[in-house]
Amino acid sequence: MAAAATSRVQLFRRRLQAGDEAAHLLTLLFGVSILLITVLLVWELWVNSALPRQKFGLGFLFGRVWDPVAEQFGALPFIYGTVVTSAVALLIAVPFGLGAAIFLAELAPARISSALTFVVELLAAVPSVIFGLLGVFILVPFLRTTVQPALQSTLGYLPIFRGPVLGVGLLAAGVVLAIMIVPFIVSISREALLAVPAEQREAALALGATRWEATRQVVVPYARLGIFGSVLLALARALGETMAVTMVIGNDPRISASLLAPGYSIAAVIANEFTEASSEMHVQALIELGLVLFLLTILLNGVARLLILGMGRQGGRP
């Protein structure tokens, strides 16, 4: 009797485990599929960029000439364009975004804050091609007729504002990117600021600080993790942005000191030339550019993680 009962329990236990095992395996399958897809993606990029890697090696990253006729391919103009437009975007978006986040987290009454945050987050959902549309028809003419001449007449001695006024160019792309990434900075920084314990704020105020001083010297540093994270997230988005950039950047693979000059970004050149790259080397050079962009993004994400980890150990929000 007792033996039969134990074996029934064992059977039950086995079935229990079988059910869970099955579920484990099933979901594992899907989890592994993501692993496999990503590995396959990187592998495809690597394998299909073999020709230019063999021909140019690391020099690809520093080559300034992109000449499909002579089959000379260098990535530097595109890396330059990508980095510069993203930098311009951050320079514009971070002050505005952080400022707006501070306002929404510290100053605005709760209902206005959540309503306005909702509106800002809607901006994040706007598809990039629509930003391109607005860029082409509104921003570029505005830059060409108003902003850029003004910049030239006041600050034209600076090398970054020299050259013919075209409307399209690095500055236009930077501004469009800035508008696209501001919502990320606002919403994530706001959450980081809201998560700062009230005691910190109150302690600063109790010590006689003005609201601004409390914010600047206590709250923001406490939330710097989240704020920095939002900036990096925004940057990653800016680097990979394709459509809005290619519609306003001027599509010229040159490196020029002036922001008013046209440029080219990695994503934009791939979009323009991929379906029509005439030779195998050309296609593979474009794929290698895609690989470079991918690695740049991974590097950025990796640095972000390390910094957040490091910052976490130092103190501030755990």
Partner 1 sequence: MKTRFILRKAINALMLGLTGLCALVTVSVLFFILGYLLWNGGRALDWNFFTKLPSPPGETGGGMANAIAGSAKLILISVLVGLPVGFMAGVYVAEFSGKTMAFFVRYTTDLLNGVPSIVIGIFVYAIAVLPVKHFSVLAGGLALSLILIPVVVRTTEEFLRSVPGPLREGALALGARHWQAVATVIVPAAARGILTGAILGAARVAGETAPLLFTSFNNRYWSPGLGEPSASLPVMIFTYAIAPYDDWHRQAWAAGLVLLGLVLAANIATRWILSKGLSAQR
Partner 2 sequence: MKTLVPLLLPLMFLLSCGGKPPGEGKAPAEGKLINGAGATFPYPVYSKWFDEYHKLHPNVRINYQSIGSGGGIRQLQAGTVDFGASDSPMNDEQIAKSATPPLHFPTVIGAVVPVYNLPGVTGDLRFTPEALAGIYLGTVKKWNDRQIASANAGVKLPATGIIVIHRSDGSGTTFVWTDYLAKVSQSWAAKVGSGTSVNWPVGLGAKGNEGVAGLVKQTPGSIGYVELVYAVQNQIPFAAVRNQAGEFVKAGLDSVTAAAASAVMPDDFRVSITNPPGKGAYPISSFTWLIIPSAIPDPEKRSALTGFLQWMLTDGQPVAKTLGYAPLPPAVVSMELKAISQIR
In whole angstroms, how close is the CB of 39 to partner 2 at the nearest point?
Answer: 25
**In the window 160-179, what residues touch partner 2 (CB under 8 A)?**
164, 166-168
Integer angstrom CA distances of residue 7 from 1, 14, 15, 19, 114: 10, 10, 12, 18, 60
**In the window 40-69, what residues touch partner 2 (CB under 8 A)?**
65-69
Cα(128)–Cα(75) distance, integer angstroms: 24
Residue that the structure tokens 């302690």 belong to: 203
User: CB under 8 Å to 113, separation ≥6 — which residues?
Assistant: 104, 105, 190
DSSP 3-state of 66: strand
> What's the token pair of residue 13?
């236990």
Q: Could you give the count of Cα atoms lying within 13 Å of 7 in the half-sphere of its Cβ?
A: 3
Strand-pair partners of 170: none
**In the window 108-147, what residues touch partner 2 (CB under 8 A)?**
140-141, 144
Phi-psi region of 165 (alpha: psi -120 to 50; beta: other; left: phi over 0): beta
In whole angstroms, how close is the CB of 153 to partner 2 at the nearest point?
Answer: 15
Tell me, by CB under 8 A, how many residues bind partner 2: 28
C-beta of 152 vs 242, nearer to partner 1: 242
In whole angstroms, how close is the CB of 263 to partner 2 at the nearest point?
Answer: 10
In whole angstroms, how close is the CB of 192 to partner 2 at the nearest point?
Answer: 36
C-beta of 159 vs 202, nearer to partner 1: 202
Site string for partner 2, 243-282 (x = CB under 8 A): ---x---xxx---------x-x-------xx-xxxx---x
Does 70 help bind partner 2 (rule: CB under 8 A)? yes
Q: Which does 240 bind (CB under 5 to 8 A by kind): partner 1, partner 2, none?
A: partner 1
In whole angstroms, how close is the CB of 21 to partner 2 at the nearest point?
Answer: 25
C-beta of 65 vs 126, nearer to partner 1: 126
In whole angstroms, how close is the CB of 257 to partner 1 at the nearest point?
Answer: 26
Q: Which does 252 bind (CB under 5 to 8 A by kind): partner 2, partner 1, none?
A: partner 2
C-beta of 106 vs 273, nearer to partner 2: 273
Q: Which of 313, 318, 277 is nearest to 48 (CA)?
A: 277
Phi-psi region of 210 (alpha: psi -120 to 50; beta: other; left: phi over 0): beta
Q: Which of 135, 122, 137, 110 is nearest to 182 (CA)?
A: 122
> What's the token pair of residue 151?
């910049």
Q: Which does 198 bind (CB under 5 to 8 A by kind): partner 1, partner 2, none?
A: none
> What's the token pair of residue 299?
């590097």
Q: Which does 144 bind (CB under 5 to 8 A by kind): partner 2, partner 1, none?
A: partner 2
**Cβ(167)–Cβ(140) below 8 Å:** yes
In whole angstroms, how close is the CB of 292 to partner 2 at the nearest point?
Answer: 20
Q: Which does 193 bind (CB under 5 to 8 A by kind): partner 1, partner 2, none?
A: none
Cα(92)–Cα(94) distance, integer angstroms: 6
Binding footprint of partner 2 on the chain (CB under 8 A): 65-70, 72, 140-141, 144, 164, 166-168, 246, 250-252, 262, 264, 272-273, 275-278, 282-283
